[in-house]
Structure 1
Amino acid sequence: MDVEQYKDIAPYRGPDVREAIERILRDKEALLKILSSLGPGETEAERQQVEAYGKYIVSQLETVKSYDEFQERITAGVFLPVIIDKSVDTFSFDGLQQIEKDKAYLFMSNHRDIVLDCALIDLALYKAGKMFCEMAIGDNLLTNQFVTDLFKLNGGVTVKRTLPMREKYLESIRLSAYFVELITEENKSIWVAQKSGRAKDGIDVTTPAIIKMLHLSQKKKGVSFSHVVNSCRIVPVAVSYEYDPCDLIKAGEEVTRIAKGEQTKKRYEDLISISRGLKGYKGNIHIAFGTPLEGEWKDSDQVAQEIDRQIHTLYKLWPTNLFAYDYLHNSTQFQDSYRDFDSEAFLYRFKGAREEVRQFALNTYANPVASYLAAQEK
């Protein structure tokens, strides 16, 4: 694999890692803002705790030489454990017995949170002794050098979204070639969301074009569609949050979009969502890894349908999901599963929201149940 031809989109490697770390250490103000995500600094004890985290992170950064080391020592070593401790009741995962630790995979999951979906998948892989994965992220998130450095030090692969149509198509093929070569030649895993952007309505459906592009990037080599799919070892992954800290924000955005059409995002809108997603209460979180895809495949639609089927059947359905489904369908189908659930407190969560926003948010919790039931019938 010629890494140099992908340097503009690939994570930092070699001397670029140290250069990025030196830039981060020089930007004290931005570093303090990131550290604030590790907890409040209202009391003296809290301030001392954040300061201790800061000193430890700086000491670790002094010897980091690769993005794998950054992920292990900083992201999986400090940030994620603290975020889980402060905003998650339980973090669990299963299915990793199907993942060989020395093999690379293309992990494809549903997409709820801008940053945490992949970060938690990576943490599960790390805890189970598997290799870390790179992650595909849109360039719309890379608002400045500091943010770009953090993402690329975390194995971030840049997806260029702000290009003219023709250039975007060619770039998609190049990005797909990077995915395939990374897995088959570098034996390095990568994560990509099953579709562009978060599923704000709770309906998780894979975009077949993602699969199609993988084949198009290799077509000149004369390899078959099935060969490309099988060599990428695609693993569907279901990410299930009990509570979404951004539920009402997403619902409001979607209701507005449906009424008025696509709206241009404000400059720091995504960064605000990242912060809220990291700090906000999430209840329980479960990551379920599916079975790597293999066999003869007719086309990208068939592959996308199998990814969807696995993700939908792998959902961990929390009381928030089951209650919302029964509530909206005026049924008691799942009532035994949420007898001890405080449904009044859950509904109070949406008090004050416009009725259409409230209904949309409740449907976001209920839709995974509908998808699960539909998948069971297939």
Structure 2
Amino acid sequence: MGEFEAIRPYADAEVPAVLTRLFADKTFLDVLMRFRFPRMAGAFGWALKPLIAHRLRQEFAGIDSVSALQDKIEPYVDRTIERATDGVTYSGLDQLQPGNAYLFLANHRDIVMDPAFVNYAVYHAGLPTPRIAIGDNLLQRPFVSDLMRLNKSFIVHRSLSGRREKLAAYQLLSAYINHSIRVDGQSIWIAQAEGRAKDGDDRTDSAILKMFHMSRKDEPFGQVIGELKLTPVSISYEYDPCDQAKARELYIRATTGRYEKAPGEDDASIALGITGYKGRVHVAFGAPVSGGFEDAKLLAAEMDRQILGSYRLFPVHYLAYEMWSERDPALNVPAAAELFPTAELERARAEWEKRLAACPGVQQPYLVLQYANPVRNQYRVKAGLPL
């Protein structure tokens, strides 16, 4: 594993030392304190931090492997999901065979919760959780890097500027993904494109698919993809906790041509994504690609067809589509009232109107866009139309 030292997740033998380092990290303890005891953090922070560190050391004593750590935190993850959702459902898990490793390619809406919900699904199905690709732009603080690498995350170097450096980073990433699946027998989760689809328009970047092949260029593209068991995953949120922030960013980009993140903005998005209300969530696992795709663009189109076609549309998506100025009458999208019971639709309408009211008028079209795009895309897939 020496060649992957700079990007790999932590190994079992490293877990105790990393936990010790985490529980002594003042910044990490400060974040925990402000999250768990927001009212007391200011005046009593000096007393709370040592108590939190002591409790953590007691709670995680004896944890000496990644799987043991995941077993330990699983109840906390479950409670967080239960508090922030109205339930999680999943489909297609019967297509995954125990003992096989898969390359999960998923749409990307939330920084932490997208892979968390995939982990939730496979863990409760009795399957090993995948290793998770995470951009180095999110790992600016040491404790964040430690937390993610403890939870089977590996690093994608996105902040490199030189062409040669980027090429070397992608070559290494390709080699690691292939090694993980073919040698270690460990599944991988990676987003279908760099960054979240803030406008709700989920599309696969063919460059990501080409990257999978980079370290095995002497072998046919289709053969490599087939051996990696590339599997599309569609993650559907009824409500996006970060939809207002995304609408604001989209508006600023559209009106000024650029958007500069404020300090701590990613941290705020992560926190809101984890704790904010999501309504219902559905995770759909598609059929692993068996081969036959020798062109990355054709493969990207197939990934889009499966991901968009499997996306669970909730009442709010139809309500947004009905008021979207760019809806396509030729698609024959039914009205929400034709698809959902009256009580369910009224609950959704009340929540949607609350979100619209909280959004400044000039930004509302970008809020609508996020929820309407999945409807347009799915009905284009159903009609066999190009996306």
Aligned to 1:201: 199
Residue from 243, 255, 274 that aligns with 1:259: 255
Q: Say which SS state the counterpart of residue 107 (structure 1) adopts.
A: strand
Give the equivalent residue in structure 2 for 1:27: 25
Partner of 1:335: 337
Whether 1:374 and 2:380 are equivalent positions in the alignment is: yes
Quote the Cα distance in structure 2 between the aligned partners of 1:175 and 1:37.
34
CA deviations over 1:292-331 (Å, ceiling 9, x no partner):
0112112111111111111111111111112111232498
| 3-state secondary structure, aligned to 1:274 | helix
Q: 1:354 to 1:306 in 2, by over 3 A?
A: same
Q: Distance in 1 between the 2:27 and 2:170 partners?
A: 35
- Indicate if the aligned counterparts of 1:325 and 1:366 stay in contact, CA closer than 8 A: yes
> Shift of residue 36 of structure 1?
5.8
Instruction: Classify 1:73/1:202 alpha carbon distance in 2 versus 1 (closer, same or farther; 3 Å).
Output: same
**CA RMSD after TM alignment:** 2.3
Residues 356 and 166 from structure 1, CA distance in 2 versus in 1: closer, same or farther, beyond 3 angstroms? farther
| 1:236/1:292 contact within 8 Å kept | yes
Structure-2 change in CA distance of 1:352 and 1:240 (3 Å)? closer
Cα distance change on mapping 1:53 and 1:103 into 2, 3 Å:
farther
Measure the CA separation in 2 of the matches of 1:77 and 1:327: 40
The one of 86, 107, 119 aligned to 1:122 = 119
Counterpart AA for 1:105: Y
8 Å contact kept, 1:139–1:159: yes
What's the counterpart of residue 46 of structure 1?
none
Q: Superposition pairs for residues 73-222 of structure 1, below 5 Å?
A: 73-74=72-73, 76-78=74-76, 80-163=77-160, 164-219=162-217, 222=218
Percent of residue pairs identical: 35
Q: What's the counterpart of residue 322 of structure 1?
A: 318
Contact 2:129 2:187 in 1 (8 A): yes
Match of 2:240 among 237, 244, 261: 244
**Structure 1: how far apart are the matches of 2:275 and 2:54?**
21
Tell me which of 346, 362, 366 is aligned to 1:360: 366
Structure 1 residue 120, shift from structure 2 partner: 1.0
In structure 1, C-alpha distance between the alignment counterparts of 2:359 and 2:208, rounded to whole Å:
36
After superposition, the Cα gap between the structure-2 partners of 1:36 and 1:63, relative to the gap in structure 1 and judged at 3 Å, is: farther
**Matched ranges for 1:40-59 at <5 A:** 58-59=57-58
CA separation of 1:18 and 1:352: change in aligned 2, threshold 3 A: closer
Q: Is the 8 A contact 2:105 2:192 kept in 1?
A: yes
SS of residue matched to 1:282: coil
CA change 1:127–1:38 in 2 (3 A) is: farther
The whole-number CA distance in structure 1 between the counterparts of 2:301 and 2:148 is 30
Distance 2:235 2:275 in 1: 18
Letter of the 1:11 counterpart: P
Q: Which runs of 5+ in 2 are unaligned?
A: 41-50
Q: How many residues align?
A: 364
Tell me, yes or no, if the aligned pair for 1:37 and 1:275 is still in contact at 8 Å.
no
